[in-house]
Amino acid sequence: MDNLLLGSCLCGAVHYQTCTPPKVVSHCHCSQCRKGHGAAFASFFNVLRSDLELTRGAESLKSYESSKSVLRQFCGKCGSSMFWSTSKGPYADWISIAMGTLDTPVTGTKQKHICVASKATWHDISDHWPQHP
């Protein structure tokens, strides 16, 4: 499979794969993503839940409901933020994958900044990608 994307957490306990390449990378600046990643923003791409396969370490994944209907998943051994998903609305069948967990290089993907109204005051967005409140 030429378009197989592989990913894992920092310690290697959790591994996944998907055949769905990123169509758009979202850089989320909301306070929950900033705190969950310990960074100015978190970068994700979305795939259908059915297109994500955990190939190793599913038992190491831990979950945290960060707000009503939003579930964040991370490695219980190293703490790497891996996925987030919602159980309600039009995206209930989708899961967001943290870009930093990809082991397969990805280039040439459209990008956008979201939740910029709540971005960190100490961070300036200095690229040309679209910004959404």
Q: What's the CA gap between 20 and 6, in Å, rounded? A: 11
Domain boundaries, the chain: 5-118
Q: Tell me: the pLDDT tens digits for 19-47?
A: 999 999 999 999 999 999 999 999 999 99
Q: Which of 97, 122, 128 is nearest to 14 (CA)?
A: 97
Q: Where residue 15 falls among pLDDT bands split at 50, 70, 90?
A: very high
Its pTM stands at 0.94
For domain 5-118, give the fold. Answer: 2.170.150
Q: Tell me: the pLDDT tens digits for 47-75?
A: 999 999 999 999 999 999 999 999 999 99
At residue 108, the pLDDT reads 80
Least confident of 11-15, 31-35, 105-109: 105-109
Going by the DSSP 8-state scheme, the letter that residue 100 receives in this structure is: G
- Residue 96 makes CB contacts below 8 A (sequence gap 6+) with 26, 44, 45, 46, 83, 84, 85
Residue 72: φ, ψ to 5°: -110, 135
C-alpha triplet 129, 131, 133: angle, nearest 5°: 165
Mean pLDDT value across residues 102-110: 92
Mean pLDDT value across residues 76-86: 98
Q: How many CB atoms lie within 10 A of CB 101?
A: 20
